[in-house]
Amino acid sequence: MDSAGTGGWHVGAKPDRRMRAAAKKRGLEITGSARQITVSDFSTFDLIICMDRDNLDEVLSMGAIPEKTKLLLPFVSHVSVEEVPDPYYGGEEGFDTVITLIYDAAHALVDVMESR
């Protein structure tokens, strides 16, 4: 498992302090540094998960295999949104919302993967 963005503007930077704080409230620790997705990721990983349609479209345009490239939130049946909102320009509560969405979706994704 790994995390990467489609843009390179934060490469090498720590995760946003507000996201780390929101994760900490849930008992999670986010570590590491930002990296940009590469074409080799498409053969390295069995599944590429995107947070929103813009990222999905960008990854597909780079050559990702459509059957292995999915949006995250459709894995959660009780969520009415299909894309993880970008909390960057909002307040602290936006990061709390995003952590909750990703947390729920990650658990649902694990359930799907375990049932295969």
Per-residue pLDDT, averaged over 86-115, amounts to 91
- Is the confidence at residue 113, as pLDDT, over 80? yes
Q: Round the average pLDDT of the chain to a whole number and report it.
A: 92
pLDDT at 8 (0 to 100): 82
List pLDDT tens digits, range 44-64: 999 999 999 999 999 999 999
Whole-prediction pTM: 0.88
pLDDT band, very low/low/confident/very high, at 85 (cuts 50, 70, 90): very high
CATH topology of domain 17-114: Rossmann fold (3.40.50)
pLDDT band for 68, please (50, 70, 90 cuts).
Answer: very high
Phi and psi, residue 36, nearest 5°: -100, 140
Do the Cβ atoms of 98 and 21 come closer than 8 Å?
no
pLDDT of res. 99: 93
Closest to 66 in 3D by CA, of 79, 47, 52: 47
- Measured between alpha carbons, how far is 43 from 98 in angstroms, rounded to an integer? 28
Q: What confidence tier does 73 reach under pLDDT thresholds 50, 70, 90?
A: very high
98-108 mean pLDDT: 93
Q: What is the 3-state secondary structure (H, E, C) of the chain?
A: CCCCECCCCCCCCCCCHHHHHHHHHCCCCCCCCCCECCCCHHHHCCCEEECCHHHHHHHHHCCCCHHHEEECHHHCCCCCCCCCCCCCCCCHHHHHHHHHHHHHHHHHHHHHHHCC
What are the structural domain ranges in the chain?
17-114
The neighbour count for residue 98, using CB atoms within 10 Å, is: 21
